[in-house]
Structures are given as structure tokens and as C-alpha cells.
Structure 1
Amino acid sequence: MSRRIEFYQNHFLDFYKVQDEKVKSKIKNVLELIKQVERVPEKFLKHLSGTDGLYEIRIEYQSNIYRIFCCFDKGNLVILFNAFQKKSQKTPQQELDKAVRLKNEYFEKKKD
């Protein structure tokens, strides 16, 4: 099993560039896991209910929690949208709204 990971625009990459090396390493490890493992544990990849196919990649490093929004396309392609450092229990609504908007935009552009 091998999934291809694709980035939509620069939202994720902009987030990734400003992280320290240990966080980047942890993100890389989780992305590799998602690429290789058929059934990714929910600890690392969770479907967000009520979002029509939106998932969050979950990364923890020390006491910090990071989330990267994504979706699947054509069964095995993961598209990475926005990412953020989680500061509270609840995912910020503006981050969720942005991910939904980016996902819709991505699929709209594919129709062209």
C-alpha cells in the first residue's frame, strides 16, 4: 500500500517551514505512516464528523498538539490543506471553516 501525498496551494508548507526541526521530523514520520499503512490508527488520522470527507492529521510533540486538515481524492491521494497548533480542546471554528473552503475550492478547480 502506498498513498501519494499532494499539497493544495501553500497553506501547509507555510505552516511547516516555521516549525522547529523536531516538530518537522514528527510531522514527516506521521505523513510516512499515512503513506504506507492501509488502516491508519485514529490517533494519527481522524475523520471529522459533519464535514463531508474532511480529515485531520493529528500530531503530538511534547505537550504541543498540531492538526493538519486533509481529504482523500481518488481513493488514495491525500491533499493537505491548512495546519495549526492546537491551543484548546476544541478545534477553532475559523480553521475548520478555512479547511472546508479549501477542500471545496480544490474539487471545484478539478472540474475545470
Structure 2
Amino acid sequence: MCSIETRRDIRLTPYFDEFFHALDDKIKEKYKYVLQIVRTQYVVNEKFVKHLEGTPFYELRVPVASNQYRTIIVAIDANSFMQATKILLLNSFLKKSTKQYKAEIEKANTIFNEWRTEYAED
């Protein structure tokens, strides 16, 4: 039997955890599928992870039917997602318009600063 090598350690914030547990099972399964790709693939298609211009953040993209779920993520141990072996899932939302990105990025920044204060490694 072939084992799948883990390339990235995925860490969750309570904000992501709360969002995830409120999802229905079909959406959770799609999230698990995309997270497995992120965890095991060195190169991840932009269909699943895209850099948010002008920020240190990336968006995890989870399409389910006509809905687009987004999770803002950050590389913990590198300057880019591709180089990272540890990533943090900050906050998630159902994309309704591009206008909401600014508020979600501000929220992600606040969560990341909280996380760094409380959990950051040396």
C-alpha cells in the first residue's frame, strides 16, 4: 500500500474550526479534499490556492456547486505558500462579492496577530 507524504502541516484557528463545524457534510467533504491536496502536493493549482495581492495572505478556494467558499491562509514558516511546510487557516466565508474581501483580510490580519502573540514559534 502506498502512503501519501505530508508536505505541509495545516494548523487551524478557532475561527476556522467554528466555521468548518457549522458546514453541512457535503461541504465538509469538499474542504477535506482541498485540504488533502494542500497537505500533500508541493505545487497546488491556483484553482485551489491563490495569493491575495498586496498582503501576506492566500485564499484557499473551495467551490461547491454555485457557491464559492474561501478561507484566508498564511504561510507560517516561509515567505510564500509554495515554500511553506506549515500553514495557518485563519478565517472563512462564503464569497458573495469581491467587496467583502477588504473586511475579510482585515479580520484575517487581526486573527493572525492574535495567533502570533499567543502561539508563534521562535
Report if TM-score (shorter chain) is over 0.5: yes
Asked if residue 50 in structure 1 is aligned to residue 59 in structure 2, the reply is no
Query: Residues of 2 paired with 1:73 and 1:20: CA distance?
Result: 29
Give the TM-score taking structure 2 as reference length: 0.82
Alignment match, 2:89 = 80
> 1:14/1:6 Cα in 2 relative to 1: closer, same or farther (>3 Å)?
same
Partner of 2:30: 26
- Structure 2 residue 16 is the aligned partner of structure 1 residue 7: no
Aligned equivalent of 2:114: 105
Ranges in structure 1 where 5+ consecutive residues have no aligned partner: none
Change in CA separation of 1:48 and 1:92 when aligned onto 2, cut-off 3 Å: closer
What is the deviation of 1:100?
1.4
In structure 2, C-alpha distance between the alignment counterparts of 1:48 and 1:102, rounded to whole Å: 16
Comparing 61-70 with 91-100, greater Cα deviation is found at 91-100
What is the CA-CA distance between 1:92 and the residue it aligns to? Answer: 3.4
Identity rate, percent: 36
Number of residue pairs matched? Answer: 110
The DSSP-based 3-state class of the residue aligned with 2:23 is: coil
Q: CA RMSD in A?
A: 1.7
Q: Deviations over 1:16-63 (max 9, x none)?
A: 111111100000000000001101111100111111x21110010000
What is the rounded CA distance, in whole Å, between the counterparts of 1:29 and 1:94 in structure 2? 27
TM-score (norm 1): 0.89
Q: 1:56 to 1:24 in 2, by over 3 A?
A: same
Unaligned runs of 5+ in 2: 1-5, 78-83
**Aligned counterpart, 2:3:** none
The amino acid that maps onto 2:65 is Q
